[in-house]
Amino acid sequence: MGLVDYKQCWEYQEKLFNEVVAIKTANRDLPPEAQLPTPNYLLFVEHPHVYTLGKSGDEKNLLINNQELEHKKASYYKINRGGDITYHGPGQLVAYPILDLDNFFTDIHLYLRYLEETIILTLNDYSIKAGRSKGETGVWLDSENIHQARKICAMGVRCSRWVTMHGWGFNVNADLSYFNNIIPCGIQDKKVTSMHAELGHELNMQEVKEKLKGHFAKLFEAEFIAHSAEQTIQP
């Protein structure tokens, strides 16, 4: 979808989410042969500088005031996903899967692990060894070493009636200095990183997207079908 204002993209997510839920609700009153299939989407986007706080987050983890936000040309939103505070900006590849998990599997924990695995496998394609940090959602490097652990991908999702929205923020070429204005995800003792920082050069975003799509499709046993600005997903 390119570079899109956060609020505009959030509203677009809500639109797709509500459409999927409406189909599911209508299907309950129909015989199986008359029910409509629910669509599934994976939106790729970059946002102008923005901080978002999840519904379980602590506003104290935003370390700058409104005047400083304006000076940095950054926005701030409280939103309806899980998780604490995070940053999105140019060079960070954000993905919003809007899936009817009834088409795949009804297990939110497995869903999150598959999202993490999509990132881990993609990083492995670039010889970056990544993994998980016990008890913390997202993808990490050197997670077992408290002094070297650094987060490369944050995740926060919402799921209602087994339909998902929100997703991940994957630091590909992101300006990491913007993370200095928050306590990322409310975790004080670990740093953030990016593919650019780890490899020492800028990455081709389209190439990274294609690798992500390939791993996502295999994990979810799905295929992508081109559809205007977004991609629909066919289980």
β-bridge pairing 150-160 and 191-192: parallel
- Residue numbers annotated as active site: 185
d(CA 150, CA 147): 9
Closest CA to 2 of 50, 47, 51: 47
Task: Provide the 3-class DSSP secondary structure of residue 79.
Answer: coil
Q: How far is Cα of residue 149 from the mean position of the Cα atoms in its chain?
A: 20
d(CA 13, CA 230): 11
Closest CA to 22 of 5, 38, 42: 38
Asked if 149 contacts 141 with a C-beta cutoff of 8 angstroms, the reply is yes
Residue 153, beta-bridge partner list: 139, 170
